[in-house]
Amino acid sequence: MSSEKLFAILIACLCLTNELALSEAVKYCYSDDEHPYLQAGTKTAYEVEHGIIKNTTVPNCKPMQIWMLIRHGTRNPGKEEIKNMKHNLPELQQKIIKNHEQYRKGSLCKKDLEKLRTWKLDANLDKHKHKHLTAQGKKDLSSLGARFKDYFPELLQSYPLDSSRRKYKFRSTDIERTIVSMDSFINGLFGNATVNNTEVVPTSKDTLLQLYKICKSWLDQVSNSSDKNEVDKLLNGSLFSEIIGNVSQRLGFSHRLSFDDVLIMYTACSFENAWHIDERSPWCAAFTKGEKEIFEYEEDLYCYYYSSYGQILSSVVGCPPLQDMFNHFTKLENGDSNEEPQGIFYFAHSTTLQLLLTTMEIAKDSVPLKASNYETMRNRKWRTSRLAPFAANLAAVFYKCDSSNKVRLYLNEKPLHYEGCEAGVCDWEYLKKKIGFKAFNCNTNICTK
């Protein structure tokens, strides 16, 4: 071989190794991302979203009652999801590793690939425990209880041993994850005091927290309506087609993965991030931030037509909790405070909370969400990651004041920006004018028609 040829080969080799080194150096690593995108709709961890309440004092006012609607904490996936995770993920894991190592395809960085290699499905994940509250879910609720005790020491002292007067009211839907959430919250509030006036109402009789499960006209509307159309349009459209193509390529497949495979990886990513808030699921490395935002939009779209403004009966089935709040506050206004509890706590579901927010006209966009307007709705108000993550909660505090009474509103421990109120502090008279008519006339008789 001539020296010239040898030189050329040498140069080529040098360039090649350089290129490899370079591409490894600039390659994005999810594991190294200091600001990973953690918003995952209703599977968002509460720790990612909640605020901290700084100062609950309202000048010349005294807090009389706190009313809260609280979603259960972090839960397990559904039965089908658990089945698919167990069935599909280990195989995908092996194939992705093989794609990278044996076929030199795919573009996950080394660190992300290593994390994926050591990944194991949570051994405690059992299909008999589908949708059960997780260990993190208990923590979500007990720490929430402990913080609210700090925020409102006048209202939430210790559990009274003399229960001649019902100082506190706790009520949950008849489902494991909400009942355990209630117990965890009480534990955060009062330690291991035995609270013997908790109430669990069977779904078939729960016209307060789960009217949507029994309201016939609403059920008819939902099963009949075009809500699934927008979601299907998005799933069948070019955005999701691109996601499938991009993810397949990123993971080193020469064929297009099925939608179900891509979805189950996203499901694992969302749930694992919520179960272990100090760790990151290796499955998230399969997706870019932009792709995660599209998945987020898909759930927002679904919820918009299932439990919000896209469904005309939402503000009817979402009304009973608002009516309950208004009834309690009216009693306080009229001076019945001896009869009224200091704290009222309801434990329910993301749908319950979304319907209540919709009844109150919170997070209402002027343009409806559609499959076709993803780009223009990027700054939408209807964003379930923010509104309804695990352990999401709406708190309303009634203050008796020297002049006009006030109601203070918080969503996920942030002042709720409500039109006509200042940093979440509303005049009670204004609130009655704004939504009182709706609250006192729920019109739920249409459910039985």
Ligand X SMILES: *[C@@H]1O[C@H](CO)[C@@H](O)[C@H](O)[C@H]1NC(C)=O
Chain residues binding ligand X by CB under 6 A are 55, 57-59, 163, 191-192, 196-197, 220, 223-224, 232, 235-236, 239, 242-243, 246, 259, 288, 290-291
Q: Please, which residue, 246 or 373, has the CB nearer to ligand X?
A: 246
Cβ atoms of 427 and 401 closer than 8 Å: no
Give yes or no: 255 in active site: no
Q: Taking Cα atoms as reference points, which of 406, 416, 409 lies closest to residue 363?
A: 416
C-alpha span between 394 and 256 (Å, rounded): 43
For every residue of 338-392, DSSP letters joined together read TTS-SEEEEEE-HHHHHHHHHHTT-S--SS---GGGTTTTTT-S--HHHHSSTT-
Task: Quickly list H helices, 30-119.
Answer: 46-49, 79-101, 110-117
Min dist CB 202 to ligand X, Å, is 19
Q: Please, which residue, 101 or 150, has the CB nearer to ligand X?
A: 150
Q: Please, which residue, 94 or 372, has the CB nearer to ligand X?
A: 372
Q: Please, which residue, 17 or 163, has the CB nearer to ligand X?
A: 163
Task: Report which secondary-structure segment, H or E, holds 251.
Answer: none
Min dist CB 133 to ligand X, Å, is 20
Min dist CB 104 to ligand X, Å, is 19
Min dist CB 165 to ligand X, Å, is 11
C-alpha to C-alpha distances, 305 to 228, 256, 263, 392, 411, nearest whole angstrom = 8, 30, 21, 20, 22
Choosing from 50, 72, 100, 328, which is the catalytic residue?
72
In the numeric block, which tokens belong to residue 136? Answer: 């993190």
Q: Please, which residue, 69 or 244, has the CB nearer to ligand X?
A: 244
Rg (CA), the chain: 26
C-alpha span between 439 and 407 (Å, rounded): 15
Min dist CB 249 to ligand X, Å, is 8
Q: Please, which residue, 131 or 414, has the CB nearer to ligand X?
A: 414
Q: What angle do CA 282, 140, 127 make, to 5 degrees?
A: 60
Q: Taking Cα atoms as reference points, which of 343, 363, 353, 324 lies closest to residue 46?
A: 353
Angle between helices 238-250 and 227-236 (to 10 degrees): 40
Min dist CB 246 to ligand X, Å, is 4
C-alpha span between 16 and 422 (Å, rounded): 62
Strand pairing partners for 315? none
Min dist CB 359 to ligand X, Å, is 23
Cβ atoms of 428 and 333 closer than 8 Å: yes
SS3 442: coil
Q: Please, which residue, 57 or 445, has the CB nearer to ligand X?
A: 57
Q: Which residues are catalytic?
A: 72
